[in-house]
């Protein structure tokens, strides 16, 4: 299928997402089946992720300017209006006239010729208001609703952050999570040095910068092109891993010769980091119940030339063979991902308070079984990429209340994780403060 019009490609992908596809899957599907140049591919990506991310704001504008509420519009027409309004509100490099004309054309080409005048009128009304310095989006007084509509989040997520941060910082976090994600590298010290990677990338015209506190981390500045084509990738000099995720293995602090179990390992970023930190000397069990995801772990381990990693396919809640065998266990448990909403455009609409409750139950089960793997005197690190206390502090506190032989052990002052430690030994990474993915982690010792 040849689809040379990027806005039509974005419309088809958005229609897939509305029908249940994940945003990244819907995007990949249409990009593979279309024949677009790089600039148009970037535009499709921006339109898709932006329209999904900002859908509550865009719906509120339709509600206020249209004769019919967004929820009463034909679904495909609502998607077309989202595309037009997104360009007008958020894409400064696209002229207003181009945004209006292409959106009206989209309506005509997708069965809405009779309503193309409605599309034209609504978009031009938005432009008129903005030109007269009138904010087309009217906001309620309630802080959770106001920030939820302005920055496009469900009220319950905004309320959760308000309770932890207050209004000013919650707004900063909302704004941060709507920015495009950065890409960080973790260099493999068994194959290279951070200086060598910096030099090789600079020679290829790729700009990077170092990340404070994290000795293996580099962050790309600007466009990189295809990651697998960059210097050092095929040689196993580095892999992509966000800097906050790099902190987890440092907190675990694996030592050469130990037995380590990564109980929820796929796709293997933390597993391979553990092997690097223990100088590939010892045994690292990478466990996951999904064999297809474990293949990615095996590929990464091969590319990084790591020999200490063993694969175990199975649910970590049912692996009795590991009882009392591990010096250290990592439990990077499934979570709601509220610390990585900038990476997953549709995640804010997929998670609910109910899914969080279900996840916290699952996390407690993983913890109850994972702790049995640890030898007396050993270490367990629990981590998530969410910012919800119900999945973090509450899970750990409930566990500690019923397991008196476990205690929190703050990181050593020399650990990269020490700079992010808050009271009681919890480690919480807030994206707007630390400029990296949101994470929670805690180190526990079995006594």
Selecting among 174, 264, 335, 385, the annotated active-site residue is: 385
Confidence of residue 424 (pLDDT cuts 50, 70, 90): confident
- Spatial separation of the C-alpha atoms in residues 445 and 400, rounded to whole Å: 11
The average pLDDT across 246-251 equals 97
- Burial of residue 325 (number of CB atoms within 10 Å: 0-12, 13-18, 19+): middle
The reported pLDDT for the residue numbered 404 is 96
205: left (phi over 0), alpha (psi -120 to 50) or beta: left
What is the residue whose two structure tokens read 């029908």?
19
Instruction: Classify 239 as helix, strand or coil.
Output: strand
Cα–Cα dist 30/16, whole Å = 10
Interatomic CA distance for residues 278 and 170, integer angstroms: 39
- In the predicted structure, residue 306 carries a pLDDT above the cut 60: yes
Average pLDDT, the chain: 95
Of the pLDDT bands very low, low, confident and very high (cuts 50, 70, 90), residue 311 is: very high
| pLDDT-based confidence at residue 342 (cuts at 50, 70, 90) | very high
Is 385 annotated in the active site? yes
Distance CA 411, CA 400 (A): 18
> Confidence band (pLDDT; 50, 70, 90) for 223?
confident
Band (225; pLDDT cuts 50, 70, 90): confident
Distance of CA 60 to the CA centre of its chain: 25
Structure tokens at 144: 């959770």
> Residue range 90-97: average pLDDT?
96
Please name each of the domains of the chain with its CATH number: 6-131 (1.10.940.10), 143-177 (no CATH), 184-240 (3.30.70.1170), 243-446 (3.40.50.150)
> Residue 38: pLDDT band by 50, 70, 90 thresholds?
confident
* Sign of the torsion formed by the C-alpha atoms of 143, 145, 146 and 151: positive
For the cut 50, the answer to whether the pLDDT of residue 1 exceeds it is: no
Alpha helices in 230-290 (DSSP H): 243-252, 269-277
Q: What is the mean pLDDT of residues 414-418?
A: 93
Q: Is the pLDDT of residue 2 over 60?
A: no
Mean pLDDT throughout 338-348?
Answer: 96
Q: Compute the distance between CA of residue 241 and CA of residue 362 in angstroms, rounded to an integer.
A: 25
The pLDDT tens digits of the residues spanning 141-171 come to: 999 999 999 999 999 999 999 999 999 999 9
The confidence score (pLDDT) of residue 222 equals 87
- My answer on whether omega of the bond before 267 falls inside 30° of 0, hence cis, is yes
The answer, yes or no, to whether residue 3 has pLDDT greater than 80, is no
Q: Select from 299, 379, 402, 278 the least CA-distant residue to 331.
A: 379
Q: What is the pLDDT of residue 14?
A: 97
Residue 196 has pLDDT above 80, yes or no: yes
């Amino acid at each position: 299928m040849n689809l040379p019009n990027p806005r039509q490609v974005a419309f088809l992908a958005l229609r897939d997402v509305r029908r249940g596809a994940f945003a990244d899957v819907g995007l990949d599907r249409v990009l593979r089946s279309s024949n677009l140049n790089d600039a148009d591919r970037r535009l499709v990506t921006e339109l898709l992720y932006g329209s999904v991310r900002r859908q509550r704001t865009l719906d509120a504008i339709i509600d206020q300017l249209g004769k019919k509420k967004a929820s009463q519009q034909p679904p495909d027409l609502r998607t077309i209006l989202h595309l037009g309004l997104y360009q007008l509100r958020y894409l400064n490099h696209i002229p207003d006239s181009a945004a209006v004309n292409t959106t009206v054309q989209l309506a005509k080409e997708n069965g809405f010729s009779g309503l193309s005048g409605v599309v034209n009128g609504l978009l031009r009304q938005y432009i008129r208001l903005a030109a007269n310095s009138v904010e087309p989006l009217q906001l309620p007084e309630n802080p959770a609703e106001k920030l939820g509509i302005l920055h496009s989040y469900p009220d319950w997520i905004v309320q959760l952050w308000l309770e932890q941060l207050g209004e000013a910082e919650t707004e900063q976090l909302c704004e941060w999570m709507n920015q495009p994600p950065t890409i960080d590298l973790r260099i493999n010290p068994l194959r290279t040095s951070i200086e060598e990677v910096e030099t090789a990338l600079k020679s290829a015209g790729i700009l990077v910068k170092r990340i404070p506190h994290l000795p293996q981390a580099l962050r790309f500045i600007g466009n990189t092109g295809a990651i697998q084509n960059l210097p050092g990738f095929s040689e196993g000099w580095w892999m992509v891993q966000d800097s906050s995720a790099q902190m987890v293995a440092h907190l675990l602090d694996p030592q050469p010769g130990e037995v380590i179990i990564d109980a929820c390992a796929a796709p293997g970023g933390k597993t391979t980091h553990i092997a690097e930190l223990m100088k590939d000397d010892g045994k690292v069990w990478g466990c996951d119940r999904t064999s297809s995801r474990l293949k990615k772990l095996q590929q990464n381990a091969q590319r990084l030339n790591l020999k200490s990693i063993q694969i175990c396919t199975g649910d970590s809640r049912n692996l009795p063979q590991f009882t009392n065998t591990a010096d250290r266990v990592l439990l990077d448990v499934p979570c709601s991902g509220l610390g990585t909403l900038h990476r997953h455009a549709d995640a804010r609409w997929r998670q609910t308070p109910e899914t969080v409750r279900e996840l916290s139950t699952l996390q407690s089960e993983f913890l109850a079984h994972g702790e049995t793997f640890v030898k007396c005197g050993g270490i367990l690190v629990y981590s998530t990429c969410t910012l919800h206390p119900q999945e973090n502090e509450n899970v750990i506190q409930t566990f500690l209340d019923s397991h008196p032989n476990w205690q929190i052990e703050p990181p050593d002052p020399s650990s990269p994780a020490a700079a992010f430690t808050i009271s009681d030994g919890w480690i919480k990474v807030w994206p707007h403060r630390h400029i990296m993915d949101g994470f929670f982690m805690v180190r526990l010792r079995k006594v």
